[in-house]
Structure 1
Amino acid sequence: MDRIVLILIAILLDLLFGDPYSWPHPVKFMGNYIYYYLDRFEDSTLSYKKQFLRGVYLWVSLCCITMGILSIIFIISKQIHPYLSNLIAIYCYYSSFSVRSLAREAKKVQQALLKEGIVAGRQQVSMIVGRETHHLSEDEVIQATIETVAENTSDGFVAPLIYSLLGGPYLTMLYKMINTLDSMVAYKNERFNYLGRFSAKVDDIFNYIPARVSAILIIIASFLCRYSWRKAWEILKRDCYRHASPNAGFPEAAAAGALRIRLGGGHYYHGVYVDKPWIGDDDNRIVIEDISKIINLLYCIAALIFVVLFMISYLKGALS
């Protein structure tokens, strides 16, 4: 079956169901291996060079395991029935997309703020961000949610989509592995500064193009949703590099401009205050409704891509 058709099915499944918590998920298995490796081989007494090498070994070993298991699954499934391998490919794509799940988690923060107040909002946003949340104001909780949705528009949808189109389920799972390692060990702190450095650099490389594509898609979606697309373009050009990450600033800058709000600023991470520049202008005071707006942009991008891929698939079928 055509790869685009399989990806379209996966997008539709993601939009309909998201990631049910009880379902098996490749990222869970990857995470379990990372915990196992750290438990066995992490050693802070080693030299920086040896810690870095252990980080490389972690990356290489997880890559070999991921690609090896996936190869075995596809070899066996193709021998059983060709359609079974198609179903497995669909699941690989489906499990890599997180549009509905991302929107659901953002909505939970919004509902917690509206129904239970700031304490519940802080607790809920702590589930999706790495910063400390116990001292955040309501505005900062909303800001953290918007930043997470904007950044994960790239990491959780656009990037895996691009790699799915380019390399099928193998490249899709490779990207999810890279993204999982980045989220678990690529921290600039005493524990992971060297061990996680290789994973962080690889993640930067793989997200370079998707982050920029995501920013353009946010601008297009801003136009379709009748938000401030001109401001999104202006802030993207001005503030895209005002972020510690070489990539995250792109979708965040576009989102900040689209909503005419200010993102970024300093926050506490693991007890340490990290001062970061502001992204965007505070033309509007940030409000709870802005969470709905960033979710609208996320869904608009997913719908736009679905329509484009459907048209491409239809034209390929018509011309063949």
Structure 2
Amino acid sequence: MSGAWIIILAYILDRCIGDPRWIPHPVIGMGKSISALERVIRARVHTDMGLKKAGIWFPILIAGGAFAVTWGLLLLLGLIHPILAAAAEIILIATTIASKGLRDAGMEVYRHLKQQDWPGARRSLGMIVGRDTAHLDEPEVVRGTVETVAENIVDAIVSPLFYALIGGAPLAMAYRAVNTLDSMVGYKNDKYLHLGWASARLDDWANWIPARVTALLLIVGAWVLKLDAKGAARMVSRDARLHPSPNSGFPESAVAGALGIRLGGHNVYHGVASFRAYMGEAARPMESEDIVRTTRLMFWSAGAFVSLCFLATWGVWLAGGALLW
């Protein structure tokens, strides 16, 4: 049962304090390691096929290294005292989650919108999305915020908790490394098409189950919060697979259906226009309160998943006890 309590306490820790800026975050170290490895590879490999083969080393060294370092640290601390190892594991798992950070980022955009500070809202949105935000109107700012919060329910909450349940802090940290790799080198552009393919593919695989679990949690959450649960289920069934990502469409379509809004559409990245498939139906215009509703769905889904982690561990513990008896 100790694993369940560690996950619960890690989530509570992240929910309460998030990631204080004065504490070095493991993702910073991962990012520096990825950049260093990329420099080494590019200095030695100059063909597309060579880059594709070399790209396999990113998940092996970065994700594998994150797992090994975390496992070794916890082993060492466990030799000193088990409580010290448990405390470290709680803190390490908490660093792989970003529920408070995601909520704060979304609500910062919301506050600017409520104050009719359009430049501030665009700047705040620009901190959490890759698209150009300088000329977006209010509905498009809301759309960008809702899409980001919805998509990151998987990456920033459910997936790391899912892997923490399976393999504790080492596997949760390995997942965070995979996710960081995808955000840095997993692009289908001229620079990373060959070098980043393995990292992007592994991130897709890692999020496959959590994305679908998240969609189910969001549908139930819509029912609990008196939103449109039937609409959420219908949009997941109809629209989730239209998204260019094999996973992001599940939380986005669920949120769109629950709120009765339409996500997706035209975005501009570094001056280049791009179209992303629509998710949901525009039953009404988007409004700033949709950010608050999405945040509530996020926290409900996170709390529900933590509860499921506890119940799963409790069930395994009881089944093990019954077998021993």
TM-score (norm 1): 0.93
Query: Relative to structure 1, is the Cα distance of residues 131 and 78 closer, same or farther in structure 2, using a 3 angstrom cutoff?
Result: same
8 Å CA contact 2:154–2:251 kept in 1: the answer is yes
One-letter amino acid matched to 1:111: R
Residues 157-214 of structure 1 show CA distances to partners (whole Å, capped at 9, x for unaligned) of 1111111111111211111110110111111222112111110000001111111110
1:42 match: secondary structure: helix
Partner of 2:163: 163
Residues 262-295 of structure 1 show CA distances to partners (whole Å, capped at 9, x for unaligned) of 0011212233222222111000100000000000
One-letter amino acid matched to 1:160: P
What is the Cα deviation at residue 23 of structure 1?
A: 1.5
Q: Does 1:202 align with 2:202?
A: yes
Partner of 2:81: 81
What is the Cα deviation at residue 317 of structure 1?
A: 7.9
Query: Relative to structure 1, is the Cα distance of residues 52 and 270 closer, same or farther in structure 2, using a 3 angstrom cutoff?
Result: farther
Partner of 2:219: 219
The 5 Å alignment of 1:11-160 reads 11-42=11-42, 46-115=46-115, 117-160=117-160
Residues 219-272 of structure 1 show CA distances to partners (whole Å, capped at 9, x for unaligned) of 111011100111101111100111110110011000000000000112122332
Partner of 1:3: 3
Residues 1-23 of structure 1 show CA distances to partners (whole Å, capped at 9, x for unaligned) of 71001111111111111121222
CA distance in 2, matches of 1:276, 1:175: 26
Query: Relative to structure 1, is the Cα distance of residues 38 and 223 closer, same or farther in structure 2, using a 3 angstrom cutoff?
Result: same
Percent identical:
35
1:264 match: secondary structure: strand
CA distance in 2, matches of 1:67, 1:165: 15
Query: Relative to structure 1, is the Cα distance of residues 41 and 234 closer, same or farther in structure 2, using a 3 angstrom cutoff?
Result: same
Query: Relative to structure 1, is the Cα distance of residues 77 and 145 closer, same or farther in structure 2, using a 3 angstrom cutoff?
Result: same
Q: Which deviates more, 41-50 or 131-140?
A: 41-50
* Structure 2 unaligned blocks of 5 or more: none
Query: Relative to structure 1, is the Cα distance of residues 312 and 194 closer, same or farther in structure 2, using a 3 angstrom cutoff?
Result: closer
1:266 match: secondary structure: strand
8 Å CA contact 1:44–1:191 kept in 2: the answer is no
CA distance in 2, matches of 1:259, 1:144: 15
8 Å CA contact 2:155–2:207 kept in 1: the answer is yes
Partner of 1:277: 277
CA distance in 2, matches of 1:55, 1:312: 36
CA distance in 2, matches of 1:200, 1:181: 8
Partner of 2:250: 250
What is the Cα deviation at residue 59 of structure 1?
A: 2.4
8 Å CA contact 2:161–2:306 kept in 1: the answer is no
One-letter amino acid matched to 2:298: L
One-letter amino acid matched to 1:166: I
One-letter amino acid matched to 1:50: G
8 Å CA contact 1:44–1:51 kept in 2: the answer is no
CA distance in 2, matches of 1:312, 1:187: 36
8 Å CA contact 1:43–1:51 kept in 2: the answer is no
CA distance in 2, matches of 1:53, 1:272: 30
Q: Which deviates more, 304-313 or 31-40?
A: 304-313
* Structure 1 unaligned blocks of 5 or more: none
1:135 match: secondary structure: coil
2:284 match: secondary structure: coil
Q: Which deviates more, 26-35 or 40-49?
A: 40-49
Partner of 1:175: 175
One-letter amino acid matched to 1:78: G
CA distance in 1, matches of 2:205, 2:312: 28
Q: Which deviates more, 47-56 or 280-289?
A: 47-56
TM-score (norm 2): 0.92
8 Å CA contact 2:186–2:200 kept in 1: the answer is yes
1:275 match: secondary structure: strand
Residues 75-129 of structure 1 show CA distances to partners (whole Å, capped at 9, x for unaligned) of 3212211111111211121111111110111001111222252211111111111
2:55 match: secondary structure: helix
